[in-house]
Structure formats: C-alpha cells, structure tokens
C-alpha cells in the first residue's frame, strides 16, 4: 500500500499529534511505501510568523526523525518544495463545489477563531490536502479524528474527477485509531488537545520532565476520587487513562485496578513518570539532530527528489486528461 500523511509545521508538536498520527506512521513504514510531508503551505492559512517558518519546518523534520521515521524507507519532504501540490490543488478546485468547502468543520472553527484572517486559502485548505494525497495516489491516510472529514472530501473529489475525466485516482481510506484518535486538552477535556491553545493544555514532545510533571499534576480532573474510565461523567480522568494506556500498552481496566483506592494525585504522579520516561529518547534524539542541521536538510532534499518523480507523473496525467496538454 502507499501511505500519505502530513503535519503543519506550526512549532512544537504535542502528544495528540504523536498518538493520533505519528505513532501509526512508525508502524506502517515497516510494510508499506510511505510518504510523509511537512505541509508548510497549509500552515500559512492561519496567522503565523514568517521569520519562524523555516525554523519550524526544520524542527518538524527533526520530530519525524526523532520519533522513528526512517528516511531510508519513507519519503520525508516539504510540501512547498514541490510546486505540483498547489498546481494540482488549483486543478481540483475547479471541480470542488464551494458549498462543500463552506461546511467543513475545521473551516468553520478556524474562521470563527481568526475572524480577521478568513482568507480564501483557509476555505480551499481541504482541496490542497486532497491534492497532497491524490498526487501520490495514496491508498490510505493515517490521521487523527479531526481530519476524517477532509479525507472523506478527498474521496469525493477523486470520484468526481474519475467520473468527469476517466479513471485516474484511487479513493483513499482514512486510518483512524480506535484509541488515541482524539487526545483531549489537559485544561479543558471537552476540547481536543490543540497547538493553538494555551501551553499548559498540551504536552509537547520535547517538554522538559519538570514541565510535563507540572502540566499533568495540574490537569483538570473531575469530581469524585475514583480512577475510572467514563467519557461523559469523567472526561478528564478518561483522557489521562487513555494516554496512560497508549504509552504503557496496558489495558485501561488493568490500570484502573492498579489504582483502586488511590487518589487522583497518586495516579497523576505515576502518569507524569510514564510520559517523562516515554519521551526521554525523543528529547535525546532531538538534541543530537539539532546539531546536525545539514544532515536533516539533506534528508529533506533527498525526499524532495523522490517525491517529485511521483508528483510529476501524476500532474502530467491529470493535465492530459483535463485537456491542458
């Protein structure tokens, strides 16, 4: 199978990005042809610092590598370095109904959040995402729950293109984990963990052990004192139990048993230790890789060369079918 996925380089990535997306990528690269993109053209649709962008792109590449993406197996590259992405997005925009874009949940949320920054790029965002995926004729797209609607739109666009211009694209499936697809905020467990929220709502992959401990100990919990999973009545503890289970491989029921008659404080202390230990190799590799910028840039260049071969072939086919060549 060919797999495609990407992350916006908006600075430090968090545990939600890791548990919902990257963790799946690591497993998938063993048996599949994987293409992992740093989607900088998506990152500029919401307010950002131009001065910071190159640094964030490099940091995201370092995160991919530190988390275990193997550049010998998988293609890692930067979206804006392959102009076929925006080119295909334009072509696909001509067959995408405006109405579908306006009803996308992410568009509604982001345009409500950045009221004075509702640009056409934000509306067309999902078409660029469809272009990312279809350019590589991917079979599957491992993402968190919040991106499911965009992958569904991608399938609709692929179907429409195939009907209009002849069989060209596969209809990609989204790969969404049963657990981990929606890690919630530490300060408001009814909302998903999100990079754009306050710092203490997220555990970042390179947070120091002290920060991790502080954030977990002050994470919002629910009334009562039992450590038991109940999404509606105890969203805070349930979210922490999910994180605990995903990082240790233990079943939630077993974790609950281990904490019978112990309070939230003890559970949180133990969870903080689990996270600190789990992320320790990330911090170590990140430190190593930050001293090897040239090596990381070389990986991105090599990724660009490999991705370009596939991208150019698809664009040529699409333009031929659309009567442009």
Q: Binding residues for ligand TYM, per CB under 6 A?
A: 4-8, 16-17, 19-21, 39, 42, 129, 132-133, 141, 143-144, 146-147, 181-183, 192-193
Beta-ladder partners of 75: 35
Q: Of 23, 192, 215, 268, which residue is the catalytic one?
A: 192
Q: Of 137, 170, 182, 195, which residue is the catalytic one?
A: 195
In the complex, the smallest distance separating the C-beta of residue 257 from ligand TYM, rounded to whole angstroms, is 26
User: Which is closer to ligand TYM, CB of 4 or CB of 77?
Assistant: 4
In the complex, the smallest distance separating the C-beta of residue 312 from ligand TYM, rounded to whole angstroms, is 19
User: Which is closer to ligand TYM, CB of 20 or CB of 303?
Assistant: 20
| Rounded CA separation 37/76 (Å) | 6
In the complex, the smallest distance separating the C-beta of residue 224 from ligand TYM, rounded to whole angstroms, is 25
* Residue nearest ligand TYM, CB atom distance: 20
User: Which is closer to ligand TYM, CB of 181 or CB of 205?
Assistant: 181
In 3D space, the residue among 173, 169, 174, 148 whose CA is nearest the CA of residue 159 turns out to be: 169
Q: Is 192 considered catalytic here?
A: yes
Q: Of 23, 110, 234, 268, which residue is the catalytic one?
A: 110
CB 307 within 8 A of CB 82: yes
Q: Is 195 considered catalytic here?
A: yes
In the complex, the smallest distance separating the C-beta of residue 158 from ligand TYM, rounded to whole angstroms, is 13
Count of C-beta atoms within a 10 Å radius of residue 254: 10
In the complex, the smallest distance separating the C-beta of residue 225 from ligand TYM, rounded to whole angstroms, is 26
Burial of 43 (0-12, 13-18, 19+ CB in 10 A): buried
User: Which is closer to ligand TYM, CB of 92 or CB of 259?
Assistant: 92
| Rounded CA separation 17/14 (Å) | 5
Beta-ladder partners of 6: 37
What 3-state class would DSSP assign to 324? coil
Angle at 172 between CA 142 and CA 152, to 5 degrees: 85
User: Which is closer to ligand TYM, CB of 8 or CB of 268?
Assistant: 8
Burial of 176 (0-12, 13-18, 19+ CB in 10 A): buried
| Rounded CA separation 251/254 (Å) | 5
Q: Which residues are catalytic?
A: 110, 192, 195
């Amino acid at each position: 199978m060919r797999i495609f996925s990407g992350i916006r380089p908006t600075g430090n990535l968090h545990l939600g990005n890791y548990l919902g997306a990257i963790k799946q990528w690591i497993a998938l690269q063993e048996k599949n042809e994987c293409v992992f993109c740093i989607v900088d053209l998506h990152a500029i649709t919401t307010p950002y610092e131009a001065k910071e962008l190159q640094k964030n792109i490099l940091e995201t590449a370092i995160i991919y590598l530190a988390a275990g993406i193997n550049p010998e197996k998988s293609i890692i590259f930067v979206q804006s370095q392959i102009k076929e992405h925006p080119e295909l997005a334009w072509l696909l925009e001509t067959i995408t109904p405006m109405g579908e874009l306006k009803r996308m949940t992410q568009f509604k949320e982001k345009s409500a959040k950045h009221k004075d920054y509702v640009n056409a790029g934000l509306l067309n965002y999902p078409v660029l995402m469809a272009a990312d995926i279809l350019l590589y004729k991917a079979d599957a797209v491992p993402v968190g729950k919040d991106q499911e609607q965009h992958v569904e739109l991608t399938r609709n666009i692929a179907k429409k293109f195939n009907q209009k211009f002849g069989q060209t694209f596969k209809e990609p499936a989204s790969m969404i984990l049963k657990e981990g697809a929606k890690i919630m905020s530490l300060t408001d467990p009814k909302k998903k963990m999100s990079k754009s929220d306050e710092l203490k709502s997220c555990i970042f992959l390179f947070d120091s052990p002290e920060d991790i401990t502080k954030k977990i100990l002050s994470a919002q919990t629910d009334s009562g004192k039992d450590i038991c999973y109940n999404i509606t009545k105890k969203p805070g503890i349930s979210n922490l139990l999910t994180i605990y289970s995903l990082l240790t491989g233990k079943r939630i029921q077993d974790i609950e048993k281990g904490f019978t008659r112990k309070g939230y404080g003890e559970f949180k202390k133990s969870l903080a230790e689990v996270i600190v230990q789990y992320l320790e190799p990330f911090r170590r590799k990140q430190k190593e890789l930050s001293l090897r910028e040239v090596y990381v840039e070389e990986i991105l260049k090599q990724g660009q060369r490999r991705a370009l071969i596939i991208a150019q072939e698809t664009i040529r086919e699409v333009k031929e079918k659309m009567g442009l060549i």
